[in-house]
Amino acid sequence: MEDARLITLQLGNGCSATAVSRGRSVDTSMGFTPLEGLMMGTRSGNVDPSLVGFLTRREGVDTAEVEGWLNKRSGLLGISGTSRDVRELLDAEASGDGSAALALEMFCESVRKQIGAYLTILGGADAIVFGGGIGENAPLIRERVLTGMGWCGLDLDTARNANAVGVESRISAEDSKIHAYVVSVDEEIKIAKETARLLGARANDSN
């Protein structure tokens, strides 16, 4: 881990990407709030900042209303017009729903763009790691994100990827220069442990 360069992708209803160098996060797709970065279940991800002012004037609403739209009515739900659930959108796409197909295409494209940015920041990578409800359980989304990335040395093993549902697994080919993994993530436990550690450190400092 002291030498590893990783790109971690937490893909669920909320999504974020992180560039990791030598065991430390050096960049994250989130900004001042989680709204920035990747397209998500109901969050828009990156948009032109001028959009907020435009919508307040055009729709005759206040800023808080627009922020609510961007956080709760955008992303996969907003583009598809039907659902924020990738499983439902994949079924709808298979049935010919063009809006569902567009939402999924935009979602995967936002992830691919972030991977490209972090490959530049890190000067390459040793591995790309998928976590979260989508990252751990949607092989088709992972395939769409990683297909065509042979240019950077990442070759997906489609059979491994298809079988990696709800289990930790490597999904890249044996001879891939950059590997890809699916890793289970327990955010609640991690947050609780970090909170306890910080509170313990503060208590020790006060003593």
Please give the C-alpha separations between residue 59 and each of 46, 55, 206, in angstroms, as whole numbers: 21, 6, 52
Average pLDDT over residues 31-50: 95
pLDDT at residue number 188: 85
Average pLDDT over residues 59-74: 96
Contact between 45 and 35 (Cβ < 8 Å)? yes
Q: Are strands 24-28 and 127-131 parallel, antiparallel or unpaired?
A: unpaired
pLDDT tens for 79-109 read 999 999 999 999 999 999 999 999 999 999 9
pLDDT tens for 144-159 read 999 999 999 999 999 9
Dump the DSSP string for 143-189: HHHHTT-GGGT--B-HHHHHH-SSS-EE-B-TT-SSEEEE----HHH
What is the dotted CATH code of the domain comprising 5-206?
3.30.420.40
Q: Identify the band that residue 202 occupies on the pLDDT scale cut at 50, 70 and 90.
A: confident
Indicate whether 207 pLDDT > 80: no
pLDDT tens for 104-130 read 999 999 999 999 999 999 999 999 999
Average pLDDT over residues 173-194: 91
* Domain extent listing, the chain: 5-206
